[in-house]
A = this chain, B = another copy of it.
């Protein structure tokens, strides 16, 4: 049962950080857009120092760039960088799938199957956007099962940087159907508690996503 929370006073810095983070993730702040401290402070109704600290954190996270005396801007992740991030994610999510196969209980497996079944419906309806959403849910659920703090954090950070590319790969012709099959292989391996198979399935899945991204780059988006 949830107790009534005391006003939960959140500091201006944390407030600014989350709002900036969200704004970047939602695409309200575009790549290369400048982050002028005073403007943001007025927009968020906080002090400039808070915005300043928030920007420092986001820079450390790799989401914004900075140069001394020249300010900060939303960092534009290049296609080459995006591919690198996918390669790193492939091995990290592979590790997560490995752990998940070892730890999954009956309920977890049922949840995974439920999500995958919804993906199949969406595929039939040609609802690619919803497939993307369910895709995220499936990966998140696997991470949750794996119960691995370090990997979870790292993947979270990589995903944040990749946000601009998140809808690109599912649009490559034939990718949706293939993606569905790959996810099934992952879920099956986890259901059978076959850790190595789960890891391998996850890795080749993300490697295929990477290939799709490369293809979409070659075709000029």
Contacts and interface: CB of A to CB of B under 8 A. Distances in A.
Interface of A: 9-11, 13-14, 49, 52-53, 56-57, 59-62, 68, 81, 84-85, 87-88, 90-92, 94-95, 148-151, 153-154, 158
A165 to B, nearest CB: 14
Copies in the complex: 2
26 contacts: A9-B68, A10-B68, A11-B68, A13-B56, A14-B68, A52-B53, A53-B53, A56-B57, A57-B57, A60-B60, A60-B61, A62-B153, A84-B148, A84-B149, A85-B150, A87-B148, A87-B150, A88-B92, A88-B95, A88-B148, A88-B150, A90-B95, A91-B95, A92-B92, A150-B158, A154-B154
Nearest to A84: B150
Contacts of A95: 87-88, 90-91
Contacts of A53: 52-53, 56
A186 to B, nearest CB: 16
A110 to B, nearest CB: 27
A153 B61 CA distance: 11
A62 to B, nearest CB: 8
A87 to B, nearest CB: 6
Given A57-B60, A88-B151, 4 more contacts: A60-B61, A62-B153, A87-B95, A88-B92
Contacts of A149: 81, 84
A15 to B, nearest CB: 11
Contacts of A56: 13, 53, 56-57
Contacts of A88: 92, 95, 148, 150-151, 154
A154 B89 CA distance: 11
